[in-house]
A and B are shown apart, each in its own frame.
Chain A
Amino acid sequence: MKKFLNLVCLLLRQHRKKLIVMRNTVLIVLISALQVFATGSYAQTKTISLAMNDATIREVLYAIQKQSEFYFLYNSELIDVAKKVDITIEEEKVDKILTRLFNKNEVDFLIKDRYIVLTPVGGNAELFDQRTVSGTVTDQSGQPLPGVTVLIKGTTQGTVTNTDGNYSLSNIPEDATLVYSFVGMRTQEVVVGGQISINIVMEQETIGIEEVVAIGYGTISKKDLTGSVSSVRFEDQILNANINVMQAMQGYLPGLNIGAVTESGEDPSLLIRGTTSLSTGQSPLIVVDGVIYNGSISDISTSDIERIDVLKDASSAAIFGSRSANGVIIITTKQGKSEKPVFDFNTYHGAQVIANKYNVCNANEYIKLILDYRSANGMEADINNMEAYLDPLEGENYRNGTENDWGELMTQAGPISQYDLSVSGSTARTNYYLSGSFTDQEGAVMGDDFTHTSLRANFSNDISNWLTIGMNAMYSNKDYSGVALPYSSWSLLSSPLGTIYDETGDLVFYPHNKTMFPNPLLNQRVKDSEVSNNLFSVLYADIKIPKIEGLKYHFDYSDNLRFEKHHQFWGTNTVSGYQAPNGHVTRINSENRSWLINNILSYSRQIKKHQVEATIVYSREGYVGESSNLTAKNFSSEVLEWNAIELAGYLAVNTNASENNTEAFMSRFLYNYDNKYYLTATFRRDGFSGFPAGGKYANFPSASLGWVISEEDFTKSLNWINFLKLRLSYGVNGNQALGAYSSLSKMELNNYVYDKSSVVAIYSGSMGNNDLTWEKTKSWNFGIDFSVLNNRLSGEINVYKSNTTDQLVERSLPSMTGYNNVWTNLGEVQNKGIEVELNSIILSTSGFIWKSHLSFSLNRNKIVHLYGTDTDGDGKEDDDIGNSWFIGKSIGAIYNYKTDGIYQIDDDIPDGFVAGKFRPVDVDGSGELDENDRTVIGCTEPNFRVGFYNEMKYKNISLSFMINSIQGGGKNNYYLSDSRSNRVIEHIHSGASAIKRDYWTLENPTNEYPGLYYGGEKYQPAVLEDRSFVRLQDITLAYGFSKTVLNKLGVNNLKIYLSGKNLLTLTKKYKEKVLREEGYFTNFTGMDPEAGTNLLMGTPVMRTYIIGLNINF
């Protein structure tokens, strides 16, 4: 036997890669030989066996209900359930059974999840009684709603709506009240009075307690959840002016922090709960259609997304083990829903402008600035001798009265348009969703262009009653070609007196002879092609294993191929191309591939009140990437640009390649008793190639408990409580975000030259560390889910605490080592916080509904331990000043000199300072300023975040808006940025314009902005600024055409909408009413408080206005 095993081992080693695939194939065959079948919706998977003779249909239906979770809705007056039948069924799906049970010309049935509605074919109310009320029940989008129960209040008399949403009820007393109820919808009551026709629009309950939530390697009903998962269904968000799906969720989910987007086609930053790691990646793991996705989120078209679930607490995320410490975002794309094919077309058009422009000096202000600068620095400052202080080019323009507004020249109202078309459907065996989407965006900063084309095909087929196969495939093409004008850099501050064009009309290279300020408009001449292509497909098979009820096997293989190219040509008409000389090309091509195989075996079973579900997963993942980067200069001919770089006189090549692999084993056990008591336990073991031998594997366990109090008898009497659940979870998550090869010592490669001969040069690049291992986060989460007051108010509250140990840190080293830093494991960071999510129906009268969604999150982090050393012997663990890490303080602590204003003329001014410069505070009271006066003076992390979403509907009109706010403040000085630094001086000094500000002069002894002194200060204090803001992030007004119009047009749904983004931003100092741009009341000196970019760094956020059309037929 052993010999045999050795032989097999040998064989496997030799053919490892082939075997991975082969093995899975073998397994499929093996399992299929054992006979197996499919997952999908409950009705597609649940099978029933019956053997009944001479039973009434009512008895048969009752038997089916007993065997399953199905629930039949019918009106016994319309359906002849007393009819006797003989039936023998072995493992059949419910639709088959019903087809056999009823004559299809008499009874129509509709399966909606676990509810089955039986209606007579062509059932017509008039046949029955004169005192009849009839009508149509639709959902909010106008779609007919079958299966709605309509009862006369206080009786058992009632009916259900048919497939067209129609109902009819007879024998109605005059004072009757009708009660309309449907799962997942708010129950409505209507007094009949004299009405004979009552049409009802059912509204969704705000809390989708029955909603199915993706939890990783499976789904679960929200009510059964024991962890903390936030979800967004994409319905109305589609109508907002958002290119990236994440932008559409900004501020919506508590604990999911999405950064601002300032460039076309950019992916926003993502952070779930607090910063857990001192230096490794903070980005959550993205999972698309069940598989880990390494591509860019912006590749996925917003309109293709059905829902997004965010796993926030450790026990939920632990299922993804090694990479889950930053949380997990699960994206589920759309599937077909109805037998009838549904076409959906959405388009919008609009424009983008810069939300907040820099306020720079015009020519007159520039002149004044120079004079003030000169007199502050002891130079002659005589306006009559002004030309002497200016560059010759500036002098000419000054004389002629010519001036430029560079900001104006570089920006525009950038057109934006988007088109989405999809068709979807679900037939007996096949479910499909096909879509195409195209976005064309021109940035508010000229040249910041972006187009995105994406195609998607989601397809699944029930091959047999035990096997379903499917494939979700996506192609995405993003084109960022074009070089954005350097709005964000100093170029914007080129002198307003600069010369743009020479006599021949050509752009000049240096508008005022400063090499630091080349003509920003020259970037228009750069030829640029930047395209990325992404192919992502998931192929899966679901197999139901026979004999063992509830045992299923799922296999999926996914591959994500990304090709990127970035080619640039700088001709001799640009500075760089001229200096090259004779043109300059960079040509980067890269290709990378991630593949992933999941094998999931799951078993679920209900035995009386015990519900058990177990899942085992084995998966493997690999990544290979390579790129080549060519640089060429000195072209003998420019006409072929980057396509024939062999024409270049100088060529340099740089190539890169990298590979990493991951292996994971996971198991999960779910148990619940009587839908009251829940237990979830998971265990995952992960291996990652990026760690050194011995540290490659780590284990990640978790457990959680849930208690649905509202199911208990003692709460049943409390009518105002509809649902109440407590949850508690604990788990361990990992972070491997250091990437491949980080534990190895690397050499840098470069070139040197001896006389004219090039040689290769190597030197140390990074220090290796053989002891590297996983960063682990252990966290607790306690949560309450509730729904009260007839489901008018619902929500959840989560409180959490996490400790991240063995921090993977790129620790700075003293430069005496010859290295800058080294990857190491050290220290501990704690995060704790509270998140609140509230959904409420504020108003609901006939015709008018106002719903709101509020999210609040507050997180505090602090460093608990670092190196555990105490070299200064003060009995406390040492801080790491060099890295700005302090025990007991936030990771975002800002350590610097403090200032309490500006030295005024009458102050006692020490050496090295003069009146008008910042006054650093002698914090340690030593009587003089030195390095010891640096302290923690603030924190870059926010105090709390609030998002407030509102949706109002009146008849066909709906208005929705999202207010997003991040607030600082609090005793530890949260959410500050060093955006007010004194760079204004450097600009004037370099002969450039500057941001307008109220600087110190003898006549204006302000404490806000220092005087225009040039020259370093021995101690440069940080001048911090509060980033708090409130922003009207999205607002949409939509009009949906009424059914009568739609019927004439033959469409289901037609909406037109207007939407705006970032229309209004208020910052803390708005009371000073500094109106910078319309709708931007702020004194924030940086570009945008949310983007957090410092003065002159980064582009501002864009404001978008769109008009759109959504049609569905």
Chain B
Amino acid sequence: MKNNIIRIFGKLILVFGLYFFPVSCDEEFLDEIPKDFLTPNNAYTNLDGFETAINGLHYLVREHFWNGNWKQYALFGNHTDYTFSYNKLDYNALSASGIWAGFLVYWDSAYKLIQNANTIISHAEMDEAKWNSNTDKLQIIAEAKFFRAWGHKILANLFGGVPIVDTEIISPKYDYVRNTRDEVYQFCKEDLEYAVVNLPDEEKSPGRITKAAANHLLSEINICLENWQEAIDAASLVIDDPDYELMAERFGARTDIEGDVYWDLFQIGNQNRNSGNKESIWVIQEEYGATGGGNGCLWEWMWGPWLTSIKDPDGNSGFITDDEFGWPIAHRTPTYWLQQVVWEDDWDDMRNSSYNIRREFYYNNPKSNYYGQKVTKEVLIPMSNNYRYCQVYYMKATTPWDHPKGIYNTGIVWKDIYAMRLAETYLLRAEAYLGKGDKQKAADDINVVRARANATPVDADDVDIDFILDERARELAVEEMRSCTLMRLGLLYDRVKKYSYILWADGSVEATKENTTIQPHNNLWPIPQTAIDLNSEATLEQNPGY
């Protein structure tokens, strides 16, 4: 019996031994080779690879800061002195996790950008990276450092002192602690000082980062640090550069249409420097219908009056969507201040021309009995929430006659977007001069900007930070990351209290919900609760008041 069993198992072992034998030679059967994606190991090996990674930074910036959903557009000044939303932000309800936490996504977006910049910076120095020239390498690192600084700057503006992340994250980390706001700005400064040395003078391609862009940002960072002279020096490097000047004459693709030079600045195709525009410093790229051309920006949808809901005196639809105005729905409404007050001192300012700010509208629905007639206040007054129908239309938020065929009913605009423009560099330098106490120089800089708009020059005595903020509004409304500006200055609360009013169709004025609920602690946003909760190995302090 026993023998039998031994014999049986002997045979079993023989058969299986033969069978399993090849397995030991066959380890690569379970090797894993990526088929349809790149990994950091094979992505950052030569200049081409690094260039695609830099493209990735540009992509992330556009997708996360300009082309996001409407909740994100809080960065561009909604709920500030610029606009209020028909959603009525109750600042009491702004919390780290509540319903308004939607725009806190900038926290995540900025850190994602920073991580990608860090990855480029660290891989550039690795052995796997084969460089043809040291210049290539330094330029790549410099552009990545520019974005790392830009990301940290936005975080520090909005949230105060945030954790500085200066290395590539390759394994999980849960113990972030906050740096001070000055430490963050200082870190940005160091990155930018590297960047201004190593970035090229000219864009490698339209939209790429140059020395001028880095100097512009360095100037702002130095303002944040109150290094006034360094801020002035950085801005001067751009202003004094003969390649950069404010556009004074009409230019670009649409000079055949009646308008002015300020209007030209915002026509499709006129933003990139290759259009002859010498004013632009950094332009976010959008191209309708092109691969990678982006999803467009919802500005038109947000900034214009809700025309399609305006009824004619018969109560019928007065407007249809068209190629001139697109489809605005007044998702946000300019404050009384931005509609009226800011222009009152000099109504003839070019930036307030009827090309640039539309204040009158004519029924365009052919089916309406009032086709072609002007919309009167009397018609608007009975309408509910009529501030959404009577608001002015900052035309830089749209592209009249340039909507891609058939898609003027999305509220999306497809033109390139200024991230930095020389006019702002002047205003930054003015701010630095003001900080330094040189009001005359500040006024001079402001007046360069005002002169282009044929506005009356400002007296040095009248220049203060509020005037600069007003001037920024006149020059940069819609484009500017207003929330960043006000929050870096700690003036969000003051300005909202002062300027956030609803203008009703009958001309009456009423404080917005933002105005009545904002408190001084709202000068910083709360740190997202998810970031605090997930940072399980250290405490990430919340901003006071939240």
* Chain A interfacial positions (CB closer than 8 Å to B): 8-9, 12-13, 16, 19, 23, 27, 30-31, 374, 379-380, 385, 387-389, 391-393, 395-396, 399, 509, 513, 515, 548, 551, 572, 578-582, 599, 601, 603, 607, 616, 618, 620, 633-634, 649-652, 655-663, 665, 687-690, 692-693, 696, 740-741, 743-765, 767-769, 811-819, 822, 824, 867, 869, 871, 878, 880-883, 911-912, 931, 1014-1020
Q: Which residues of B contact A758 (CB under 8 A)?
A: 290-293
Decide if A687 touches B39 in the complex (CB within 8 Å).
Answer: no
Decide if B34 touches A744 in the complex (CB within 8 Å).
Answer: yes
Q: In the docked arrangement, what's the CA distance between A688 and B29, Å?
A: 9
Question: Please, what's the 1-or-0 string for B314-352, where 1 marks a CB less than 8 Å from any CB in chain A?
Answer: 011110000000010100000000000000000000000
Q: List 7 A-B pairs, Cβ < 8 Å.
A: A8-B22, A12-B22, A23-B22, A692-B32, A696-B30, A751-B292, A764-B119
Decide if A761 touches B52 in the complex (CB within 8 Å).
Answer: yes
B272 within 8 A of A: yes
Decide if A931 touches B12 in the complex (CB within 8 Å).
Answer: no
Shortest beta-carbon distance from B307 to chain A in Å = 10
Q: In the docked arrangement, what's the CA distance between A768 and B405, Å?
A: 44
Decide if B8 touches A1019 in the complex (CB within 8 Å).
Answer: no
Decide if A753 touches B30 in the complex (CB within 8 Å).
Answer: no
Decide if A599 touches B29 in the complex (CB within 8 Å).
Answer: no
B114 within 8 A of A: yes
Q: Which residues of B contact A665 (CB under 8 A)?
A: 20
Q: Which residues of A contact B58 (CB under 8 A)?
A: 752, 761
Decide if A753 touches B292 in the complex (CB within 8 Å).
Answer: yes
Decide if B111 touches A749 in the complex (CB within 8 Å).
Answer: no
Decide if B384 touches A374 in the complex (CB within 8 Å).
Answer: yes
Residue of A30, A578, A660, A755 near B406 (CB, 8 A) is A578
Q: In the docked arrangement, what's the CA distance between A513 and B330, Å?
A: 13
Decide if B12 touches A603 in the complex (CB within 8 Å).
Answer: yes
Most chain A beta-carbon contacts within 10 A, residue among B8, B32, B33, B404: B32
B15 within 8 A of A: yes
Decide if B292 touches A750 in the complex (CB within 8 Å).
Answer: yes
B242 within 8 A of A: no
Most chain A beta-carbon contacts within 10 A, residue among B107, B311, B405: B311
Q: Which residues of B contact A822 (CB under 8 A)?
A: 172
Most chain B beta-carbon contacts within 10 A, residue among A620, A633, A689, A762: A762
Q: Which residues of A contact B96 (CB under 8 A)?
A: 931
Q: Which residues of A contact B24 (CB under 8 A)?
A: 9
Decide if B529 touches A392 in the complex (CB within 8 Å).
Answer: no
Residue of B1, B23, B289, B308 near A634 (CB, 8 A) is B289
Count contacts on B: residues with CB < 8 A to the other chain. Answer: 119
Shortest beta-carbon distance from A383 to chain B in Å = 13
Decide if B19 touches A23 in the complex (CB within 8 Å).
Answer: yes
B11 within 8 A of A: yes
Q: Which residues of A contact B411 (CB under 8 A)?
A: 515
Decide if B208 touches A601 in the complex (CB within 8 Å).
Answer: no
Q: Which residues of B contact A692 (CB under 8 A)?
A: 32
Supplied contacts A747-B39, A756-B290, A763-B53, 15 more A-B pairs, CB within 8 Å: A8-B22, A19-B22, A515-B327, A578-B407, A582-B406, A650-B289, A659-B35, A747-B37, A753-B290, A812-B534, A817-B111, A817-B169, A882-B536, A912-B93, A1015-B87
Residue of B172, B382, B406 near A385 (CB, 8 A) is B382
Shortest beta-carbon distance from B165 to chain A in Å = 6
Q: In the docked arrangement, what's the CA distance between A657 and B534, Å?
A: 33
Shortest beta-carbon distance from A455 to chain B in Å = 33
Residue of A392, A633, A869 near B536 (CB, 8 A) is A869
B538 within 8 A of A: yes
B305 within 8 A of A: no
Near A by CB (< 8 A), chain B positions 399-424 give: 404-407, 409-411
Give how many A-B residue pairs fall within 8 Å (CB-CB). 327
Decide if B55 touches A755 in the complex (CB within 8 Å).
Answer: no
Q: In the docked arrangement, what's the CA distance between A435 and B115, Å?
A: 58
Q: Which residues of A contact B256 (CB under 8 A)?
A: none
Decide if B108 touches A815 in the complex (CB within 8 Å).
Answer: yes
Q: Which residues of B contact A385 (CB under 8 A)?
A: 382
Q: Which residues of B contact A750 (CB under 8 A)?
A: 56, 59, 292
Shortest beta-carbon distance from A37 to chain B in Å = 16
Shortest beta-carbon distance from B399 to chain A in Å = 15
Residue of A620, A655, A815, A869 near B530 (CB, 8 A) is A815
Shortest beta-carbon distance from A12 to chain B in Å = 5
Decide if B16 touches A741 in the complex (CB within 8 Å).
Answer: no
- Given A650-B289, A750-B59, A818-B116, is A658 in contact with B107 using a C-beta cutoff of 8 Å? no
Decide if B43 touches A762 in the complex (CB within 8 Å).
Answer: yes
Decide if B55 touches A816 in the complex (CB within 8 Å).
Answer: no
Q: Which residues of B contact A515 (CB under 8 A)?
A: 301, 327, 329, 409-411
In the complex, residue of chain B having the shortest beta-carbon distance to the beta carbon of A770 = B171
Q: Which residues of A contact B172 (CB under 8 A)?
A: 767, 811, 813, 817, 822, 824
Decide if A13 touches B26 in the complex (CB within 8 Å).
Answer: yes
B98 within 8 A of A: yes
B233 within 8 A of A: no
Residue of A380, A580, A689 near B384 (CB, 8 A) is A380
B362 within 8 A of A: no
Q: In the docked arrangement, what's the CA distance between A1018 and B91, Å?
A: 9
Decide if B19 touches A618 in the complex (CB within 8 Å).
Answer: yes
Q: Which residues of B contact A871 (CB under 8 A)?
A: 536-538
Decide if A1020 touches B99 in the complex (CB within 8 Å).
Answer: yes
Q: Which residues of B contact A13 (CB under 8 A)?
A: 25-26, 28
In the complex, residue of chain B having the shortest beta-carbon distance to the beta carbon of A516 = B329
Q: Which residues of B contact A754 (CB under 8 A)?
A: 205-208, 285
B90 within 8 A of A: yes
Q: Which residues of B contact A616 (CB under 8 A)?
A: 12, 16
B112 within 8 A of A: yes
B385 within 8 A of A: yes
Shortest beta-carbon distance from A700 to chain B in Å = 17
Decide if B115 touches A818 in the complex (CB within 8 Å).
Answer: yes
B57 within 8 A of A: yes
Q: Which residues of A contact B206 (CB under 8 A)?
A: 754-755
Q: In the docked arrangement, what's the CA distance between A749 and B37, Å?
A: 8
Q: In the docked arrangement, what's the CA distance between A943 and B531, Å?
A: 33
Q: In the docked arrangement, what's the CA distance between A972 and B286, Å?
A: 53
Q: In the docked arrangement, what's the CA distance between A763 and B33, Å?
A: 20
Q: In the docked arrangement, what's the CA distance between A1074 and B510, Å?
A: 45
- Given A601-B16, A690-B32, A764-B119, is A878 in contact with B536 using a C-beta cutoff of 8 Å? yes
- Given A753-B291, A764-B119, is A16 in contact with B92 using a C-beta cutoff of 8 Å? no
Decide if A747 touches B38 in the complex (CB within 8 Å).
Answer: yes
Residue of B30, B112, B529 near A931 (CB, 8 A) is B529
B494 within 8 A of A: no
Shortest beta-carbon distance from A277 to chain B in Å = 19
Q: Which residues of A contact B11 (CB under 8 A)?
A: 548, 551
In the complex, residue of chain A having the shortest beta-carbon distance to the beta carbon of B114 = A818
In the complex, residue of chain B having the shortest beta-carbon distance to the beta carbon of A582 = B406
B170 within 8 A of A: yes
Shortest beta-carbon distance from A470 to chain B in Å = 22
Decide if A761 touches B59 in the complex (CB within 8 Å).
Answer: yes
Shortest beta-carbon distance from B155 to chain A in Å = 10
Question: Please, what's the 1-or-0 string for B207-223, where 1 marks a CB less than 8 Å from any CB in chain A?
Answer: 11000000000000000
- Given A814-B173, A819-B169, is A392 in contact with B384 using a C-beta cutoff of 8 Å? no
Shortest beta-carbon distance from A1033 to chain B in Å = 39
Decide if B59 touches A763 in the complex (CB within 8 Å).
Answer: yes
Q: Which residues of B contact A763 (CB under 8 A)?
A: 53, 56-57, 59-60, 112, 116
In the complex, residue of chain A having the shortest beta-carbon distance to the beta carbon of B25 = A9
Question: Please, what's the 1-or-0 string for B137-173, where 1 marks a CB less than 8 Å from any CB in chain A?
Answer: 0000000000000000000000000010100011111
B176 within 8 A of A: yes
Decide if A760 touches B382 in the complex (CB within 8 Å).
Answer: no
Q: In the docked arrangement, what's the CA distance between A580 and B410, Å?
A: 10
Residue of B90, B97, B208 near A1015 (CB, 8 A) is B90
Q: In the docked arrangement, what's the CA distance between A396 and B312, Å?
A: 12
In the complex, residue of chain B having the shortest beta-carbon distance to the beta carbon of A513 = B308
Q: In the docked arrangement, what's the CA distance between A818 and B419, Å?
A: 23
Q: In the docked arrangement, what's the CA distance between A579 and B410, Å?
A: 7
In the complex, residue of chain B having the shortest beta-carbon distance to the beta carbon of A931 = B529
